[in-house]
Structure 1
Amino acid sequence: MERKINLLLLLFALIGGTIGFALGEVILGSLLGEWPRFIVVGLYFGVIALCIGLSCLIAELISPRLSGTSWRQRYTGLSWMLLVPATLVLLFVVSGLLQLTYGLSFGGVKQVKDIVLVIDNSGSMAETDPDNERFTAAKQLIDKLESDKRVAVVQFSDTAELLQPFTNLRTQAEKDSVSAAIEALEPTDGGTNFTLALEESMKIINEKADSNRGTMIILLSDGFSDSSIDEQIAAYQEQRVVVNTVGLSVVDARGTELLQYIADSTGGSYYDVTEANGLTLAFQNIYDTIDDRTLVTERTGVNADSTLYMLLRLLSLTIIGAAIGVSLGLVFDNRFLAVSFGAGGIVGGLLAGFILDSGLSGRSFWDPVTRLTAVLVLAAIISLFTFVVPIKENTGSKLRGGGRKIGSGSSSKSMGRPAKDSRSHGF
């Protein structure tokens, strides 16, 4: 058993990790939100493992310092056969299962699947939103909602009315029907009553058939309501329903404070929009905060600072790191390398988990840099761990066919001379 380092393998592992990261970012950008998250995350880590495994295999073919020359001479065909199932397939399964677990809701917090749009339709909106940009923004948001989401629409002024009950959005026709209901809205001359708006929204939440689906409110208004809302806020807090608020050209400072209070009290966010054409971006930013957790993206919503999900991410990345390390050992058909790389994967995966959990922030530039850093740290530690956990060449005493190797198990003397020590001495 010897401690060795193949610097060429380290270099190639970093190159492979970079290529895998680039391909993984394409997968995230094109499939996340379109395909189930466990499939996307499984593909992400599967592709990274495949690229690292391929690069390490090429490095050992050029300079077999870890697996030995006997592997290069006799077993490279088997390594090529094992490459895809041992990396891509294995990590797809492991990462997909871990993502399924990470996506579960614990501690009574339900994953948001239903959205209630609460739209101010009072008389003052004719001045702050003369072109009905709020309706356009609502329709654009509905078009972007994933197929597993449902939406309901409430309009309010000095009264509140359910415009559209919870509707599935699996097809474009269903989305179009909701958009048509919003398009048919006519401005009123009424005032602004947040109490009735919140009561009507809570009513439809309590009446919906599937109570296991988490709900989020998006409330848009341009004014101030002097009615008491403490009772309504307590109901939202009890059911852990987040209310995000949008203030459009709010002139009265009390209106801004009230909308901010509603959001803060329920764990939501307040968005101040000065021009009506900025409502689309505000709605999109709110939708992006829905807690659709993945192991490689920012954790948002009520679980953004959850210790439980932080630990779950660290554990998941540790398991993924170990799986990548073991997969490399399988590619080389060497149990000693599997143990060494696997141990390195545990350490590297834990560090990668810390990097992701502390570095992901939702920013379009910084998040890819964070993921790249995590991948490179993981690949480097796996490659270097053969200097920590000793290995030896997997030469064995028998051939694959069951026959004994020439010279294997022979006497320590041959023709009167000591037999040569055939062990590899590399560092």
Structure 2
Amino acid sequence: MQRKINLLLLLFSLLGGGVAFVLGELLLDSRPYDLPSIVLIGIYFAIVALGVGLGSLLAEIISPLLNGLSWKQRYLGLSWKLLPVTLVMLFAVGTVTEFVYELNFGGVRPVKDVVMVIDDSGSMKQSDPGNSRYTAAEALVQRMDEDNQVAVVTFSQEATVVQPLVPLSSTANREKVTSVIRSLQTTEGGTNFSAALTEAMSVINSDNTSGRGAMVIMLSDGFSQFDTSKELAEYVGRGIAVNTIGLALDDPSGSALLQNIATTTGGQYYDVTNAELLGGVFQQIYDRLGDRTLMTVRSDSTADSPYYAGVRILALLLVGTALGIGLGIVFDNRHLARSFGVGGAVSGLLAGLILEFGLDGHSFGDAMTRLLALLVLTAVIALFTFVIPVGEGRLSRKRGRGAEVPSPASDGFPSSRRNRGSKGF
């Protein structure tokens, strides 16, 4: 039993974690086959297990400092067969922890109602001469799920509810909403945020369906006199996020106000310079509708919940522990399983803290936060053999012709060892 470090294993584990990060980001961005978040996160952690497991295995093949030459000579084939066990283990832990993380406790309501608040003031003739904002809103309605409800409010100096909340469970309703949006035109007049958000809240209050949450998508190219602390009080109190889009804003006070509205209500602000990009922004906001996964920022009413913060940190602790134990299983070594497992718990705790306090909803920043969390997760596990000693103890014993099986009296040493002083026996 010795405290030792395989620096090659540390390097290869980090490289494996880096490759897993790239593949994981592609997975999170594309969401192939419309996979549920539970399955998506399970696959994400299985990819991490594959990257780190392969890196560690290759490092020990090249330089078996931790597991010993006897493992390389006798058990290497078994290690390759055990690698899929770690993938399955991480997939299972990932899906279970994500399932728990997505449960709604304490009166949390899933966000299903979307109110689109669209600026149709006279300045939009310059900001959006092709009416791309209406095209983007129409396309979003076509892509929404059947269990969503949608409403449309337009505003300039006054605000108008052009489409009350309507369920999208039927094709007729969906076509009705898109037809209403298609008929909208830019008007004259100024910009009144207060009237717009007051009408949006009235629409939300008109929905008597219990157990449904709501959010607002608000687009404008202007500035308005607006008291955020007073006029957003009901939004904040009910946990309704207002996601704001600033289109071609030259006045910094306009973007500052829209950002303040989003931040105060727990939403996100998007700065768009070209109206033709609005379709992607609308879709991005919808994709994050009530988003709550272990690897992304919480964008619903649980954004500041200490309960869900604790669940995320505990989930990553369990994931790290499972990853460490899984590596021990790959090497078929109970001492490595213990060392890596404890190191995985520590690294999972650190990774959970990094994710909880580092994710902020900005794409590049969140990607870097996930990368840092993965690198910490892999590095601490690899270094923990210097904290907890390891030896060459097997989790299983090789059986079969030609295998050495120690006798009970030999305490694990080969039976060819002679007892001193036996005198002919």
The TM-score, its normalising length taken from structure 1, stands at 0.77
Q: Answer yes or no: is the 8 Å Cα contact 1:398–1:404 preserved in 2.
A: no
Q: Which letter maps to 2:359?
A: L
Residue 382 (structure 2) pairs with residue 380 (structure 1): no
> Is the Cα–Cα contact under 8 Å of residues 166 and 173 in structure 2 kept in the other structure?
no
**Cα distance change on mapping 1:33 and 1:101 into 2, 3 Å:** farther
Q: In the aligned structure 1, how far is the partner of 2:292 from the partner of 2:262? A: 21
Distance 2:89 2:31 in 1: 20
**Counterpart check, 1:42 vs 2:46:** no
The answer to whether the 8 Å contact 2:161/2:199 transfers is: yes
Q: Percent identity?
A: 50
CA–CA distance in structure 2, aligned partners of residues 249 and 378 of structure 1: 42
2-structure distance, mates of 1:179, 1:165: 13
Instruction: Tell me the residue number matched to 1:137.
Output: 136
CA contact (8 A) 2:119 2:221 kept: yes
Letter in 2 for 1:2: Q
Distance in 1 separating the partners of 2:117 and 2:396: 74
Question: Which is further off, 155-164 or 87-96?
Answer: 155-164
Deviates most, 282-291 or 328-337: 282-291
Distance 1:223 1:74, change over 3 A: closer
Distance 1:109 1:80 in 2: 45
Amino acid at match of 2:3: R
Check the 8 A contact 1:83/1:331 in 2, yes or no. yes
The SS at the match of 2:52 is: helix
Deviation at 1:201, TM superposition (A): 3.8
In structure 2, C-alpha distance between the alignment counterparts of 1:379 and 1:257, rounded to whole Å: 40
Instruction: Please name the residue that 1:353 is paired with.
Output: 352
Work out the number of aligned pairs and report it. Answer: 417
Structure-1 separation of matches of 2:123 and 2:50: 59
Measured against aligned partners, the alpha-carbon deviations of 1:54-86 in whole angstroms (never above 9, x if no partner) come to 2222333333333333433433333222211x2
Aligned-pair CA distance for 1:26: 2.2
For the structure 1 residues 109 and 5, does the alpha-carbon distance in structure 2 shift closer, same or farther, using more than 3 Å as the test? same
- Residues 1-80 of structure 1: matches in 2 within 5 Å? 1-31=1-31, 34-80=34-80
Q: Deviations over 1:304-360 (max 9, x none)?
A: 444433333222211111110011112222222211110010111122223333433
Equivalence for 2:166:
166
**Aligned 1:248-287 pairs, distance under 5 A:** 266-268=265-267, 280=279, 283=282, 286-287=285-286
- Counterparts of 1:390 and 1:95 in 2: how far apart (Å)? 29
Task: Call closer, same or farther: CA 1:382–1:179 in 2, change over 3 Å.
Answer: same
- Residue type of the alignment partner of 1:72: K
Matched, 1:327 2:326: yes
One-letter identity of the residue aligned with 1:69:
L
Instruction: Tell me how far apart the structure 2 counterparts of residues 357 and 229 of structure 1 sit (CA, whole Å).
Output: 27
- Aligned-pair distance for 1:3? 2.3
For 1:265 and 1:398, how far apart are their aligned partners in 2? 61
Classify the secondary structure of the residue corresponding to 2:391: coil
The CA deviation at 1:38 is 1.6
Q: Give the structure 1 partner of residue 336 of structure 2.
A: 337
Structure 2 CA distance for partners of 1:286 and 1:76, relative to 1, 3 Å: closer
Conserved? CA contact 2:329–2:395, under 8 Å: no
Residue matched to 2:99: 100
Residue in 2 aligned with 1:424?
none
Which residue type is aligned with residue 350 of structure 2? L
User: Is the Cα–Cα contact under 8 Å of residues 324 and 342 in structure 1 kept in the other structure?
Assistant: yes
Distance 1:184-1:15 versus aligned 2 partners, 3 A rule:
same
Distance 1:170 1:109 in 2: 27
Deviation per CA, 1:256-285: give whole Å up to 9, x if none: 999788667644466787886675576466
* In structure 2, distance between residues paired with 1:50 and 1:372: 16
**What's the CA shift for 1:216?**
0.5
* Structure 1 residues 80-135: Cα deviation after superposition (integer angstroms, max 9, x where no partner): 22211x22111111112212222334444434232111335567866875543331
Distance in 2 of aligned mates of 1:13 and 1:123: 58
Deviation, 1:39, is: 1.4
Deviation at 1:418, TM superposition (A): 8.5
- My pick for the range that moved more, 135-144 or 49-58, is 135-144
> Do the aligned partners of 1:321 and 1:342 also contact (CA within 8 Å) in 2?
yes
Q: How does 1:114-129 map to 2 (within 5 A)?
A: 114-120=113-119
Once residues 360 and 339 of structure 1 are traced to their aligned partners in structure 2, the CA distance between those partners, rounded to angstroms, is: 31
The alpha-carbon distance between structure 1 residues 79 and 114, as it changes in their structure 2 partners (threshold 3 A), is same
| 1:297 aligned partner, one-letter code | T
CA RMSD of aligned residues (A): 4.4
Name the amino acid aligned to 1:336. H
TM value normalised by structure 2: 0.77
Distance change in 2, residues 1:226/1:298 (3 Å): closer
Deviation at 1:43, TM superposition (A): 0.8
Q: Is the 8 A contact 2:267 2:299 kept in 1?
A: no
Gaps of 5+ in 1: 420-427
